[in-house]
Amino acid sequence: MLALIFSAFVLLEWKRLKKQPARMKWKWGGIWAFFTLWNLMAVFVPWWPNPNGIIVKLFGWVD
């Protein structure tokens, strides 16, 4: 549910992108779709890596 709320919140940024060139809109849309799918897969598929878990594994040594 949280992933869907985040996804809807990010869509509010679309108003800012209306003034940008078409290429920028496609890049932004692709990034948005990738991260939305990643988060949804992390929620519904048990073996899919959680984005927070990946960050902890990569930067856990900083602590």
Opening angle at CA 6, ends 10 and 62, nearest 5:
100
pLDDT at residue 36 in the model:
83
Indicate if the pLDDT at residue 2 is higher than 70.
no
5-37 confidence digits (pLDDT tens)? 767 777 777 777 777 888 888 888 888 888 888
Are 40 and 51 a contacting pair, CB within 8 Å? no
Q: Total domain count for the chain?
A: 1
Record the tokens describing residue 49, joined without a space.
Answer: 């890596």
Give pTM, 2 decimals: 0.63
Rounded Cα distance, 27 and 55, in Å: 23
In sequence order, what are the residues at sequence separation of 6 or more whose Cβ sits closer than 8 angstroms to the Cβ of residue 35?
none
Residue range of the domain that includes 25: 2-62
What Å distances lie between residue 50 and 22, 41, 54, CA to CA? 31, 9, 6
At residue 42 the predicted structure's pLDDT band, cuts being 50, 70 and 90, is: confident
Indicate if the pLDDT at residue 43 is higher than 80.
yes
